[in-house]
Structure 1
Amino acid sequence: MHFGVYLPNFGAETSALALAELAREAEKAHWDGFFIWDHILANKNQKLPMIDPWVALTAVAMQTKRIRFGTTVTPVARRRPWKLARETTTLDNLSGGRLILSVGLGEPGDAEFEVFGEEADPRVRAEKLDEGLDVLNGLWRGRAFSYQGQHYQLDKVTFRPVPTQKPRIPIWVGGFWPNKAPFRRAAKWDGVIPLNKHGIWIRPPDLQEMLAFIRSQRTAKTSFDAVIIGARVTLGKTSADIRRSLQKLEEAGATWWLQALYMERNSLEAMRAAIRQGPPKS
């Protein structure tokens, strides 16, 4: 199993430089991944300072050499997919092939879309997400690409250079289990970030059921990641408890554990201390 940290892109001491410093600390402490939320507003009454995660990830790429990194998750419906294709390719090449793109509908719909006069209907956001991923995947190939969708149309467009990673930058899809639509979507790509309907990390029995559903929908024979997000305390209080919890998750099919640092978001020192503890392997 791989281990990463999962941080908000807002907080009292949040800045691109601070996040780059934390990524460097994470690499030193032998974490495998560093993932930042991708919000414009966390809610309609957002007061805390907030930074752009893509600019911050550029700083992360420049300050690290080994660790994988990415957003968790990017609402593709509020992006122009061709602009996102350029950004992701540039960042993947800058980092030597370490980017992971996590995607979803984007929540909350009112803060991320409606407040700016954009379409907040989840059905429309889902359509744009699916079309946007098709466009991304097409433009990443470096060949003339045409697309005729309901929301996006391209005519013989070629993007170069192509990403470092082959066959593409990995795409992880977020969703709430037991809703089936996000997991049918995830089956087309490279990984899944599941939560349950209450927004809590998914438990091993539900993870097994969810992955069985994805396998029933999946045709590709390539590797597939199951990414679990949770606070360290949810794994247990003792080393033995933590080992048992991680073993159960791994046996159920989890390939990544992302440690959420949401509660530490207003203290750079608290996030630094949590990261320096290293992955919860024992």
Structure 2
Amino acid sequence: MSLRLSTVILPVRRWHEGGRDQWQRAERLGFHTAYTYDHLSWRTFRDGPWFGAVPTLTAAAAVTERLRLGTLVTSPNFRHPVTLAKDLISLDDVSAGRITLGIGAGGNGFDATALGQEPWSPRERADRFAEFVTLLDRLLTEGAVSDRGTFYSADEARNIPGCVQSPRLPFAVAATGPRGLKLAARHGQAWVTTGDPKLFEEGTAAQSLEALRGQMAKLDKALAEIGRNPGPMEKILLTGFTPERNTLLQSVDAFVDFAGRHRELGFTELVVHAPIPDSDFAADETVFEKIATEALAQLDG
């Protein structure tokens, strides 16, 4: 089974002070896709620079040619399907069809209350996510959409000429629970996971693999329930949140070992964070570049 290697570039650098260079470097290094987080701020980066995902991806599209681009992930926390659809159609056009939308239900971080709303309960979050994805799917595939939902509505929303990619740009749906996995099965061209968060602090690599195997089994069941073949669906692991997070980028050999085990499990794409000094994503730049350029060849060899 082939495996692709992608990266996440967090939007923490000013465009003319290293931001642009990172996206161009990702293309030079041969990454399949370069993603960015779609947040208003995020965890330990809250009190530092943090730029918007859509303008950043638009700029990245203008300075790259082959690299796919995307969010990992967008959520309903501060987005509305009607305005998001217009942004995505524009992004897909600027990039000449190189955009992937990573999308998830969101969480209880800073974005959850930034617009002044009360935090949503887990049930409301799941309800909103289902309605959000379903409406967004329609908005990206139909020229005009009217819909009256519980949380999100559209009134003759026009989305002409639509996406460059047909029938729309791909969705990579982040999910681990039953309702989210059903959404991934119905609307996703790819599925995204970060692993089992309960294993983040004290879990083992073996436990993490077993948890991921269980998530994949649930995804396959959701696909089977709607009569969809699980084979063509891409399976993406956003690394950095499993028990191996502290050793993953220490050497090419360590990464190849990790990649081999997860390819065998069924993953088709691994995503690594571009290094950020003095952060949870600090790593040696030289090793990072060697992983980008040598790891897959070593794995296949």
TM-score bracket, normalised by the shorter chain, equals: 0.7 to 0.9
CA distance in 1, matches of 2:109, 2:212: 29
Give the CA deviation at 1:276: 3.4
Contact between 1:77 and 1:126, CA under 8 Å: does it hold in 2? no
Q: Residue 277 in 1 paired to residue 286 in 2?
A: no
Cα separation, partners in 2 of 1:147 and 1:206, compared to 1, 3 Å: same
Q: Residue 207 in 1 paired to residue 220 in 2?
A: no
Q: Residue 225 in 1 paired to residue 234 in 2?
A: yes
Superposition map of 1:132-171 within 5 A: 132-171=132-171
Aligned-pair Cα RMSD in Å: 3.0
Contact between 2:73 and 2:103, CA under 8 Å: does it hold in 1? yes
In structure 2, the residue matched to 1:264 is 277
Cα separation, partners in 2 of 1:158 and 1:114, compared to 1, 3 Å: closer
Contact between 1:5 and 1:258, CA under 8 Å: does it hold in 2? yes
Look up the SS of the partner of 1:76 in the other structure.
Answer: coil
> What are the Cα deviations for residues 17-49 of structure 1, in whole angstroms up to 9, with x where unaligned?
433321111111111111111111224992111
Q: Residue 9 in 1 paired to residue 16 in 2?
A: no
> What are the Cα deviations for residues 142-190 of structure 1, in whole angstroms up to 9, with x where unaligned?
3332323211223444310111112221111223x4x433323222222
Higher relative contact order (CA 8 A, sep 6+): 1
Q: Residue 116 in 1 paired to residue 115 in 2?
A: yes
Look up the SS of the partner of 1:198 in the other structure.
Answer: helix
Look up the SS of the partner of 2:212 in the other structure.
Answer: helix
In structure 2, the residue matched to 1:70 is 70
Look up the SS of the partner of 1:117 in the other structure.
Answer: coil
CA distance in 1, matches of 2:105, 2:276: 24
Compute the TM-score of the two structures, normalised by the length of structure 2: 0.80
Structure 1 portions without partners, runs of 5+: none
CA distance in 2, matches of 1:119, 1:44: 22
Structure 2 portions without partners, runs of 5+: none
In structure 2, the residue matched to 1:180 is 178
The residue type equivalent to 2:181 in the other structure is F
The residue type equivalent to 1:111 in the other structure is F
Look up the SS of the partner of 1:125 in the other structure.
Answer: helix
CA distance in 1, matches of 2:278, 2:164: 32
User: How many residues were matched structurally?
Assistant: 276
Identity %: 22
Look up the SS of the partner of 1:173 in the other structure.
Answer: strand
Contact between 1:76 and 1:132, CA under 8 Å: does it hold in 2? yes
Give the CA deviation at 1:106: 2.2
Cα separation, partners in 2 of 1:55 and 1:150, compared to 1, 3 Å: same
